[in-house]
Structure 1
Amino acid sequence: MKNFRHPAAAIAGAAVVALLAVGCGGGDNEAASEDNPLELSVTTFGTFGYDDLYAEYEEANPGIDIKPNNIDRGANAQTDLFTKLAAGSGVSDVVALEEGWLGAVMDVSDQFVDLNDYGAEDIKDNWVDWKFKQGTDSEGRVIGYGTDIGPQGLCYNGKLFEAAGMPSDREAVAELFGGDDATWDTYFELGNQYKEKTGNAWYDQSGFVWNSMVNQMDEGYYTADGDLNIEGNTAMKDRFMQLAAGTEAGLSANETKWDWGTGRAFTDGSFATFVCPGWMLGTIQEQLESAGGGADSGWDFADVFPGGASNWGGAFLAVPETSEHKEEAAKLAAWLTAPEQQVKQSAAANNFPSTIEAQEQLAEEATPNPMFNNAPTGAILASRAEGVVAQFKGPDDSVIQEKVFGAALTQLDAGKTDGEGAWNEAVQLLNELVVKD
C-alpha cells in the first residue's frame, strides 16, 4: 500500500501581533491604512465564533476589511478548498483546516505559506506541543496556527437518566461510568440497561461513537509511518464489533448525522448520551435552539469518557500561497489564534483552546454553562485534555471516516446489515475508494 509522508514537526498558534511584521496593502509591502484599504477574505466551517473578533480586529486595524465565508461542515470545506487549490484561484487569504483532513493538506503543503517567515518560531510556545507539531510539514514548514482541540467528555440528558433510575448529578454520572477507569464495556452495559428500562436509544447514531473509539487507538486508520492500518487489524475490528453489538441491540437512534431532525432529537428524548469533543458543545446548543429547546432540555456534561483520554478534531488557520496579502493574512491568523482571542472564541463557540494560557484561564474560571445545567464546561475540558496525544491522520483519513466506515455504519444503524456485514462492506469500500490499485 502507498506509503504517505508523515507531517514532521508542527504548528498551531497565535500570539502577540507585535511579533509579526507590519502587513501589506496593494502589494504586500505597504501597510494597510484608511488611505490604503485592504480586503482580507477568511473561510471557516461549522461554528468558529469569530464574528465579534472580526469586528474587533477591523476596529483596531483601520483599513482592514474582513470578508468572512463560513461553510456548513468540515467535509464540505475540504471539497471547497481542494477544488480551488486545483484551479489555482478562489482560495481565501486565510483558510481553516480541519484535523481530519490535515494529512491530505500535507501532501500539498507547498501551496501554503510557511508561517516561520512571519514569526511562528517566536510564538510556538503558546500551544500545547503536539498541536504545534501537527501543523508542520515534513520539511519543517509551519503551515497553520492552531485554533481549538477536541478533548472529549460525555454529554448526557439528566432528565432521561432520572427517568431510567440512573443518577443525574454529573459527579455521580462520572462514577457510574467508571471515572478514570471508564471503559466502552461499561458504556454499552449501561446502554443495555437504559434500553431495557425505557425502550429508547442510548446514542444518536453509530458513526460518532466509532470515530471516538478509533481516535483512542495509538494508531488509527493509518500507522505512524503513513501506511493504511485497517485490513487485518484485529484490535480495530474488535472495537467495531463491540459497537455493532450495541447498535444491533437497539442502542442507536439511527439519527442523520449533522441533522438530528433540525435539532428535534435533542429535545424529544430520542437518545440519552452523546460523545462530545469541546467544539460539539456549540453544535448541540445550535441544535437545541433550532428545535426550540434551551437550558431546561436536560443536557449536562460529565468529566468522564469511555476508554479514557480522546481527541476528536480541532482546526488550524493557514495562508495559501495564492494570497496577494500574505503578510497581513498571517498577522490576522496569528491574532485570531492568540490566547486572548481563543478565550473569546471558546465563549462564543463552546470549543476548547489549543493555547496553554487560554486553557489555564478556562480551567481557573470554571464558568458555568447555562445550556448544560451550569456545568463548568471549560474546566471539564481542561481535565479531559490531560493525557491526550494527537493521532497521525493520513491523506484519506476523512474519506475513510465519512465514505468508508460512515457508509457502512449507516447501513448498520438502519438494520440493513449486521456487524460482520458492515465490516466487510467497509473493507470493500476502502479498496474501491482509497486503495484502488
Structure 2
Amino acid sequence: MKFSRRTATVAAIAGTASLALVLSGCSTGGDGGSGDEQITLTITTFGTMGLDDLYAQYEADHPNIKIEATNIDTGGNALTDWKTKQASGGLPDVQAVEEGWLGSVMEVSDTFTDLRDYGADDIKDRWVDWKVGQATDPDGRIIGYGTDIGPEGLCYNGKLFEAAGLPSDRDSVAELFGGDDASWDKFFEVGKQYHDATGKAFYDQSGFIWNAFVNEQAEGYYKKDGSLNVEDNATLKNFWMQLADAQQAGLSANQAQWDWGKGQAFVDGTFAVFVCPGWMLGVVKGNTESAGGDASTGWDFADVFPGGAANWGGSFLTVPTTSKHPKEAAELAAWLTDTQQEVAAFQAAGTFPSVKAAQTDAGVTGESDLTKFFNNAPVGEILGSRAEGVVAQFKGPDDAVIQEQVFGPSRTALDAGTADGETTWNQAIDALHQLVG
C-alpha cells in the first residue's frame, strides 16, 4: 500500500501560482517554444516534489513561456483532483502522476500524449529501466517522464536513542536493526526495548509501517496478472496482526497522518523512528523546522530497512492530450526531469533521482542542506545503496483506493485502540468488497 506519497508542511491545497520566473538549460526536441508566440503552460504537482524553484529558471530561458503552477498538498488529494479533471476535461498541460495511480492511469493511457512523438525514444536511456517500463503502456506508448524513485531507509532520532540506552551512530543503528538481514521482527523487538526504557511510542503511526511492508512484497494489493491479492493473503494479514500487537505494546504514537501536530511530534520526543523513502527526508526536515527544530533536534538517517530493499512512491510528469501546447509541454516535462534539474529537486526535497546520471552526481552524493540537517549523514549515498535491488511492484487500478479508503479507516481505528487486529482487518475486507469488489 502507498499512502499519499508526500505532503507539504501545510495541509491545504496550494492555490494556482502564476510564476513570472524561470530557468536555464537545454530543452529536448526543438526550440522549447523560443519563438515570439506567448504561451502559458499550466502544471499540477503535489506535495514536496522539489520543482517549485525550477519554474523561474525555465521562464528566464524561454521568455515567451509563462508557467502557471498548482501544487496540491498530498498525493491522495491530488489523485481526487486528477480524477475529477480527467472526467471534466480540465487537466493542465503537464500533470504529475504518482506511482500508485499507474493502474488507473494506464486504463486511460490514450488520454495522455505519447511522448515518443516529442523525442522520448532519444532520451529514455537517461532513466533507470524499470522507471521507463512503468511509464510505458501496453501499446508501447511512453506517457510519462520519471521524476524520482522512493528507496527507503530509516530515519531515527539519535538523541532519543541515546536516552533509551540504544546505540545512536548510524552504522551501529543499522546493525541494531539487523544490517543486511534487517527484519520487521527485529524492528518491533527494538521498538519494545525503546518503549520499556522510555515509556514512549517508537513510531508515529501504523499506516506508514504497513505501507512499507506491502510495498516490499513481490506482489502487493494486486498480483502481477491483475487480480486482487488482499482477502486471502496470509502474509498481509499476519503482518496486520503484528501491527496490532505492537500498538497494544505502546509502539504507535497514533499520530494523524501528514500532520504530526503541525510538526511538533518531530521535536518533542513523541516518537523516535520514521520510515523514510528519499522524498520523506524533506518532510521530516520541513516539519521539524516548522515546529522550531533544527539539526540539533537529533534526526539522522541509517542505511538499513526492515525486510530489505523497498520502493515507496515516485512520480512522473505527463502531458494530457487536452493540452493546447503538447510540444512545449513535453519539452518542459523533459527539462524538469533532466539530470541537473533532478539534482536540484533532490537538494530541495530529498527526492532521489530516477535519472542515472543524477544519482551519482556530486550534488546528490555530496553535502547539502539535507546532509547538514540529518547529522551530516551521506543521504545521497545511503539512498543509492537502498535503491540496489529495488523492483517496481505492479499497481492495479484501485491500488490508491485500497491504500486510502480500504485500509485507512481500519488503520485509524487500530491506532486509536478502538478495535483489535481481527476486527479492523475484517472491517478492511468489508470495505474492499464495497469499494473494489
Q: Is the 8 A contact 2:150 2:312 kept in 1?
A: yes
Report the CA distance between 1:18 and its aligned residue. Answer: 5.4
Aligned pair 1:430/2:437, yes or no? Answer: no
Report the 3-state secondary structure (helix = DSSP H, G, I; strand = E; otherwise coil) of the residue aligned with 2:393: coil
Alpha-carbon distance change, 363 to 244 in structure 1, aligned in 2, over 3 angstroms:
farther
Query: Under a length normalisation based on structure 2, what TM-score does the superposition of the two structures give?
Result: 0.92
For residues 409 and 27 of structure 2, what CA distance do their matches in structure 1 show? 48
1:58 is the counterpart of 2:67: no
1:8-46: per-residue Cα shift (whole Å, max 9, x none)?
Answer: xxxxxxxx95541345xxxxxxx443x321111111000
2:365–2:379 CA contact under 8 A, matched in 1? no
Partner of 2:50: 49
Q: Any conservation in 2 of the 1:363–1:380 contact (CA below 8 Å)?
A: no
State the Cα RMSD in Å: 1.3
1:342 alignment partner in structure 2:
342
Deviates more, 1:74-83 or 1:319-328: 74-83
Cα distance in 2 for partners of 1:421, 1:197 equals 30
CA distance in 1, matches of 2:379, 2:110: 38
Alignment of 1:25-424 (within 5 A): 31-33=33-35, 35-88=36-89, 90-362=90-362, 365-367=365-367, 369-424=371-426
5+ residue gaps, structure 2, are 1-24
CA distance in 2: counterparts of 1:181 and 1:304, whole angstroms: 9
CA contact (8 A) 1:22 1:327 kept: no
SS of residue in 2 equivalent to 1:313:
coil
In the aligned structure 1, how far is the partner of 2:411 from the partner of 2:53? Answer: 38
Number of residues of Structure 1 aligned to a counterpart in Structure 2: 411
**Matched-pair contact (CA < 8 Å) for 1:363–1:382:** no
Contact 2:226–2:396 (CA under 8 A) maintained in structure 1: yes
The code of the aligned residue for 2:246 comes to G
Length-normalised TM-score, structure 1:
0.92
Give yes or no for contact 1:157–1:272 (8 Å, CA) kept in 2.
yes
Give 2:386's aligned amino acid.
R
Separation of aligned partners in 2, 1:398 and 1:305: 23
Q: CA deviation at 1:366?
A: 3.2
**Structure 1 residue 156, shift from structure 2 partner:** 0.3
Q: Identify if the C-alpha distance between structure 1 residues 38 and 32 changes in structure 2 by more than 3 Å, giving closer, same or farther.
A: farther
Structure 2 CA distance for aligned equivalents of residues 54 and 98 of structure 1: 20
Shift of 1:360: 1.4
- 1:233-287 per-residue CA deviation (whole Å, 9 max, x = no partner) reads 1112112212221112110000000000000000000001000000001111111
Q: What secondary structure is seen at the aligned counterpart in 2 of 1:312?
A: coil
Partner of 1:21: 30
Q: Tell me the CA shift for residue 365 of structure 1.
A: 3.4
Q: Deviations over 1:105-164 (max 9, x none)?
A: 111111110001111111111111111100111111111000000000000000000000
- SS of the residue corresponding to residue 314 of structure 2 reads strand
The alpha-carbon deviation at position 340 of structure 1 amounts to 1.4
Q: Distance in 2 between matches of 1:220 and 1:363?
A: 34
Residue by residue, what CA displacement relative to the aligned partner does 1:287-319 show, whole Å, maximum 9, x if unpaired? 112111111111000000000000000100000
* Kept in 1: contact 2:347–2:363 (CA 8 A): no
Q: Is the 8 A contact 1:201 1:253 kept in 2?
A: yes
Q: Sort the Cα spacing of 1:411 and 1:190 in 2 relative to 1 into closer, same or farther, 3 A.
A: same
Aligned partner letter, 1:357: A
| Secondary structure class of the residue paired with 2:221 | coil
Query: SS state of the match for residue 147, structure 2?
Result: strand
Looking at structure 2, the residues matched to 327 and 176 of structure 1 have their Cα atoms a distance apart, in angstroms, of 52
2:343–2:364 contact (8 Å) kept in structure 1 = no
Q: Percent identity?
A: 62
Conserved? CA contact 2:221–2:230, under 8 Å: yes
Whole-Å separation in 1 of the counterparts to 2:124 and 2:326: 19
Partners of 1:128 and 1:274 in 2: how far apart?
27
Q: Is residue 146–residue 315 contact of structure 1 (8 Å, CA) maintained in 2?
A: yes
- Distance in 2 separating the partners of 1:149 and 1:112: 21
Does the 8 Å CA contact 2:28/2:335 hold for their aligned counterparts?
no
Gaps of 5+ in 1: 1-15, 24-30
Cα drift, residue 405 of structure 1:
1.0
Which range is displaced more, 315-324 or 45-54?
A: 45-54
The Cα offsets for residues 347-375 of structure 1, whole Å up to 9 and x where unpaired, read as: 01111000110011159833251111111
**Does the 8 A contact of 1:363 with 1:379 survive in 2?**
no
